[in-house]
Amino acid sequence: MVELAARLRKYEDQLAQARELVHSDDPEMAAEARAEELRARHEIDAIEEALKPALLPRDPLHDRPAIVEIRAGTGGDEAALFAASLYRMYTRYCERHGWRVEPISLSDGALGGLKEVIFKVQGDGAYGRLRWESGVHRVQRVPVTESSGRIHTSAATVAVLPEAEEVDVTIEDKDIRIDVFRSSGPGGQSVNTTDSAVRITHIPTGIVVSQQDQKSQLQNKLKALEVLRARILDQRLAEQEAERSRMRRTQVGTGDRSAKIRTYNFPQNRVTDHRIGFTLHALDRTLDGDLDELIDHLMMADVEEQLSA
């Protein structure tokens, strides 16, 4: 912030000097002063934009690992295919940032789609940037299962949770019920042979987490507790954020998981984020993991709201 403030003073001085010379009797000097005035104005605008987020306190959860949950919504097989596309989009985005992706659980759908996938992302700024992806994502396209060429609308839900440490969320033994059962589906020798799958119910909140992808009951229990802690922390954060956001103009950062946040329109090669009314005609790049422009606009919109609150 100090460096930005020093640069701001420097260009404000240059702007003042240029304005004094704009009305010079020497045409060449006046033209050069006008050009210098434009350059200084451009630099000042850029620095002021960079200063806005620096004026706010840093989110203590910004660099936490993120737990991302993607679930197919309305639309049957097409929704499961879209959920798989979103999973690929986020894994490609993580690759671009050098973040590590660790699958937690995965439930396959038909035609190569996904009913549900949960994964953890580790890296600098993982939760801070991915948190803006929580909500309902809608796709408009001609499904591979549609023979008449009609455009269908289907959806998938995304929830991005900050990984919770034990100091954030304490889970008492008396507050949980643990059930074990046999795993089902693909997964190797332990499937359908041992009671290795685990379902944990958090009685105070009613949150239920099932885990069966690991080989042993203990591993599944540890993974399930990790997801449970993240969901409890996320619920608390969403309630706090919703309370703070009641007077805000948009839904950016409200933590409302049921809100339709984005539409991916294939015929128009268009991606629209409904929270800020921002549209990109670059659907192919977006689905290939090029999300930074969208996320940068969302983060700046949140900064603007906080500064004006």
Q: Are 207 and 228 in contact (CB under 8 A)?
A: yes
Residue 176 CA to residue 163 CA, distance in Å, equals 19
Residues in contact with 206: Cβ distance below 8 Å, sequence separation at least 6, in sequence order:
none
All structural domains of the chain with their residue ranges: 2-54, 66-166+248-308, 173-239
Q: Are 307 and 301 in contact (CB under 8 A)?
A: no
Give Dmax (Cα) for the chain: 93
Per-residue pLDDT of the chain (309 residues; tens, 9 = 90+): 788 888 889 988 888 888 888 888 888 888 888 999 999 999 988 888 777 767 767 778 889 999 999 999 988 889 999 999 999 999 999 999 999 999 999 998 878 899 999 999 999 999 999 999 999 999 999 887 666 778 889 999 999 999 988 778 888 999 999 999 887 655 444 444 567 899 999 999 999 999 988 888 999 999 999 999 999 998 888 887 776 555 444 445 544 556 799 999 999 999 999 999 999 999 999 999 999 999 999 988 888 887 776
pTM for this one?
A: 0.74
Q: Which CATH entry fits the domain spanning 66-166+248-308: 3.40.50.2300, 1.10.3720.10, 2.40.10.410, 3.30.70.1660?
A: 3.30.70.1660
CATH code for the part of the protein at 173-239: 3.30.160.20
Q: Which of 282, 283, 277 shows the shortest CA–CA distance to 298?
A: 277
Give the residues across from 103 on adjacent strands: 119
The secondary structure element, H or E, covering residue 129 is: helix 126-130
Determine the Cα angle at 39 with ends 36 and 40, to 5°. Answer: 85
